[in-house]
Amino acid sequence: MTVVSYFHIKPLLITKMNTNSFLILLLFSLCFIVFHSHAQNNGFSVDLIHRDSLKSPFYQPATKYQLVVNAVRQSISRINHFYKDSLTDTPKSSVIPDGGSYLMTYSVGTPPFKLFGIADTGSDIIWLQCKPCEECFNQTTPKFEPSKSSSYKNIPCNSNTCQSLRDTSCTEQDSCQYNIQYGDRSHSQGDLSLETLTLDSTTGQSVSFPKTVIGCGTQNTVSFDGRSSGIVGLGGGSVSLTTQLGSKIGGKFSYCLVPLLGDSSATSKLNFGDAAVVSGNGVVSTPLVSKDPKTFYYLTLEAFTVGNQRIEFTGDSNGGGEGNIIIDSGTTLTLMPSADYQNLESAVKELVNLDIYEDPNGQFSLCYNVPSDGYDFPIITANFKGADIKLHSISTFIPIANGVYCFAFMPSQIGSIFGNLAQQNLLVGYDVVKNVVSFKPTDCTKLG
Angle subtended at Cα 103 by Cα 35 and Cα 117, rounded to the nearest 5 degrees: 105
CB atoms within 10 A of CB 385: 15
In this prediction, residue 241 has a pLDDT band, given cuts at 50, 70 and 90, of very high
More confident residue, 293 or 73: 293
Q: Please give the model's pTM, rounded to 2 decimal places.
A: 0.81
Note the pLDDT tens digit of each residue in 374-424.
Answer: 899 999 999 999 999 999 998 999 888 888 999 999 998 778 989 888 998
Separation between Cα atoms, residue 405 and residue 335, nearest integer Å: 18
Residue 110 has pLDDT above 50, yes or no: yes
pLDDT for 47 equals 67
More confident residue, 87 or 225: 225
Residue 213 has pLDDT above 70, yes or no: yes
In this prediction, residue 349 has a pLDDT band, given cuts at 50, 70 and 90, of very high
Note the pLDDT tens digit of each residue in 261-318.
Answer: 666 667 777 888 988 999 999 999 999 999 988 889 999 999 999 999 999 999 865 5
Residue 24 has pLDDT above 50, yes or no: no
pLDDT for 31 equals 43
- Cis peptide bond N-terminal to 399, omega within 30: no
Q: Are 130 and 142 in contact (CB under 8 A)?
A: no
19-28, 131-140, 308-317: lowest mean pLDDT where? Answer: 19-28
Note the pLDDT tens digit of each residue in 352-373.
Answer: 999 999 988 788 999 999 999 9
More confident residue, 342 or 331: 342
Average pLDDT of span 70-77: 56
First to last CA, the chain: 32
Q: Which domains does the chain have, with CATH numbers?
A: 269-441 (2.40.70.10)
CA separation, residue 62 to residues 222, 225, 402 (Å):
23, 18, 17
Q: Average model confidence (pLDDT) for the chain?
A: 79
Give me the DSSP letters along 346-403.
HHHHHH--S-B---TTS--S-EEEPPTT-EEEEPEEEEETTEEEEE-HHHHEEEEETT
Give me the DSSP letters along 91-122.
SB-S---SSS-EEEEEEETTTTEEEEEEEETT
Note the pLDDT tens digit of each residue in 333-348.
Answer: 898 999 999 999 999 9
pLDDT for 401 equals 84
pLDDT for 98 equals 35
In this prediction, residue 63 has a pLDDT band, given cuts at 50, 70 and 90, of very low
Separation between Cα atoms, residue 145 and residue 109, nearest integer Å: 9
The SS3 call for residue 299 is strand
pLDDT for 59 equals 58
pLDDT for 331 equals 75
Residue 200 has pLDDT above 80, yes or no: no
Separation between Cα atoms, residue 417 and residue 411, nearest integer Å: 10
- Which residues on adjacent β-strands are paired with residue 39? 44
Nearest in space to 90 (alpha carbons), one of 292, 280, 287: 292
Nearest in space to 368 (alpha carbons), one of 380, 357, 379, 352: 357
Helix H or strand E encompassing 12: helix 11-15
Separation between Cα atoms, residue 355 and residue 374, nearest integer Å: 13
pLDDT for 183 equals 58
pLDDT for 167 equals 86
More confident residue, 265 or 140: 140
- Cβ-Cβ contacts under 8 Å for 57 (sequence gap 6 or more): 33
CB atoms within 10 A of CB 440: 20
CB atoms within 10 A of CB 148: 12
CA separation, residue 445 to residues 6, 97, 138, 201, 262 (Å):
22, 27, 34, 20, 8
Note the pLDDT tens digit of each residue in 31-57.
Answer: 444 444 444 456 777 766 655 555 555
The residues annotated as belonging to the active site are 120, 328
In this prediction, residue 443 has a pLDDT band, given cuts at 50, 70 and 90, of very high
CA separation, residue 59 to residues 22, 28, 62, 330 (Å):
16, 10, 9, 19
